Amino acid sequence: MSESIKVIMKQKSIPVLVDFCLEEKIEFSVHPQAFPDNDWEINLMVRDIKTAVVTGMFLRENRIDVAGNEQPKLKKPAVKKSKEEDERLLAAVKEEPNIPEKGDQGLF
Question: Domains of the chain (ranges plus CATH)?
Answer: 3-61 (3.30.70)
Residues of the chain above pLDDT 70, percent = 70
* C-alpha separations of 1 from 6, 16, 96, 102 in Å: 16, 25, 73, 86
Of the two residues 58 and 107, the one the predictor is more confident about is: 58
Q: Is the pLDDT of residue 26 over 90?
A: yes
Q: What is the mean pLDDT of the chain?
A: 80
Average pLDDT rounded to a whole number, residues 43-71: 87
Tens digit of each residue's pLDDT (9 = 90 or more) over 27-54: 999 999 887 778 899 999 999 999 999 9
